[in-house]
Amino acid sequence: MNYREAMQYIDELRPLGSVMGLDTMRRLCEELGNPQDQLKFVHIAGTNGKGSVLAYISTVMQEAGYRVGRYLSPSVKEYRESFQVNGRMITQSGLCKHLESVKEAAASMAAEGLPHPTLFEVETAVAFLYFQDKECDLVVLEAGLGGALDATNVVEQTLVAVFSSISMDHMDILGDTPEEIAAAKAGIIKNKCYAISVRQSPGVMKILRQSALLKKGKFLTADISRAKNVKYGVEKQSFDYDRYKNLEISMPGQFQVENAVLAVETVMALVRCGFKVPEEKLRRGLFETRWPGRFDVIAKRPFFIADGAHNEDAAKKLAESIRFYFTNRKIIYIMGMLHDKEIDKVIRNTFELASHIITVTPPAGDRALPALDLAQTAREYHSAVTAADCVQEAVEIAYLLTGKDKDAVIIAFGSLSYLGELMDIVAHRDTIRRDTHGRSE
């Protein structure tokens, strides 16, 4: 199998969709020799913030000298981003090698009349094989959808189950209330592991605490109210937490302090499990953490922010950050959404901060909401809305609208599926601008 054939096989699996349940995944792992049983995990579930928390934890543990696997979704720029060891994504040859093994196992199952594994199940099995092959000391694993019946939940060697902010998303599958969604996500808690959550609503906290007790685990809260001397900024933020003073992070967004606090609590739990993390490694890991597409400053003068806010909770947090960092600035939005997301709620929670909204169609096949349809919905709230033909056009329109106002801010958000292309376009444009200024000087 070469890389082109690997990508073709991936595309062939997409129509299988998502199937909740672990029977097929367990059988697939058995066919492969249960590679997940040779690994130790930090398993992360939640509605928003999972990726950032994963990035903080894995970067800190890598700085501490451990070989750390990362499994995450969706990727932003490159498919292989989903499979990383110490921050480096899997090679094309590595992907082909492990994908071929999983393909053979899946074909064997289908020949026996069993359901063929879905794309996510295949990808998760590839991740387990890759991390086993690389002899990872720890794997930081992001749950795909939910928790209890998510394909990642075949793992048993979970040291810490981590819960970022839980809110309404995927209600058709996970439940109609935050408590029902929390119950689904709480399924990642394993016997006698640590369970750590940010402060949630009382109902959600009760569900998580009870689930941990049933598994004889220790439940801890990463409480943002215990973070003292918090200093916010677009390029650097700092805070005190527990015995650590003046911890610094370089990712902007008010919510990133809470994500970092959750990561610190998780690292402290890992230390209790026997890992050694000197304070200077914790500090360096937090500051060195990067996570593309999460209130990500991709250009300056004017500021250009990329953010994956695609549901109500994330939209509220995005709006809070805009108000906090960019008060009284001219704000221009670029929006691209999937039709099965909380489109109306996202717009309702963000529209009043924008002087202009530009819509794009994400490259997400049948799930993509056309730019014209998104523009029509946005016009119910805002009078200045433009539907762009492509991402390139959206970027050009946004820069034209900023004019000579260097204090203006462009914010692209919604589906992560278009942000990779947008980031490449902005980076290329920024390079040309800097080269031109350099020659003129």
- The tokens describing 386, both together, are 């433009």
Q: Helix (H, G, I), strand (E, B), or coil: what is residue 76?
A: coil
Burial 111-143 (b: 16+ CB within 10 A, else e): eeeeebbbbbbbbbbbbbbbbbebebbbbbbbb
Amino acid found at 286: L
**How far is residue 372's CA from residue 360's CA, in Å, rounded to a whole number?**
8
CA quadruple 367, 118, 172, 182: dihedral sign: negative
- How much is the CA Rg of the chain, to the nearest whole Å? 22
What phi-psi label fits residue 49: left (phi over 0), alpha (psi between -120 and 50 degrees) or beta?
left
pLDDT at 395: 97
Task: Tell me the C-alpha to C-alpha distance, in Å, between residue 390 and each of 292, 334, 335, 428.
Answer: 21, 11, 12, 16
- Within 8 A by CB and 6+ apart from 189, the residues are 158, 161, 195, 208, 211, 212, 215, 217
- The tokens describing 411, both together, are 């914010």
Q: Helix (H, G, I), strand (E, B), or coil: what is residue 68?
A: strand
| C-alpha closest to that of 419 among 256, 289, 295 | 295
List pLDDT tens digits, range 322-332.
Answer: 999 999 999 99
- Within 8 A by CB and 6+ apart from 381, the residues are 347, 348, 351
- Phi first, then psi: give them for residue 244, nearest 5 degrees: -90, 130
CATH number belonging to domain 3-288: 3.40.1190.10
CATH topology (fold) of 296-440:
Protein-Tyrosine Phosphatase; Chain A (3.90.190)
- Within 8 A by CB and 6+ apart from 289, the residues are 52, 55, 56, 59, 60, 249, 250, 251
Sequence spans of domains, the chain = 3-288, 296-440
Q: How wide is the angle at C-alpha 349 spanned by C-alphas 50 and 239, nearest 5°?
A: 45
Question: Within the chain, which residues score under 50 in pLDDT?
Answer: 170-172, 440-441
Instruction: Give me the torsion for CA of 264, 269, 272, 274, rounded to 10°.
Output: -90
Task: Tell me the C-alpha to C-alpha distance, in Å, between residue 406 and each of 195, 304, 329, 410, 423.
Answer: 45, 11, 10, 11, 19
Q: Where are the alpha helices (DSSP H) in 64-91?
A: none
Q: Which contiguous run of DSSP H or E holds residue 228?
A: strand 228-231
**How far is residue 269's CA from residue 398's CA, in Å, rounded to a whole number?**
45
Q: How wide is the angle at C-alpha 239 spanned by C-alphas 238 and 245, nearest 5°?
A: 110
- DSSP-assigned letter for residue 370: P
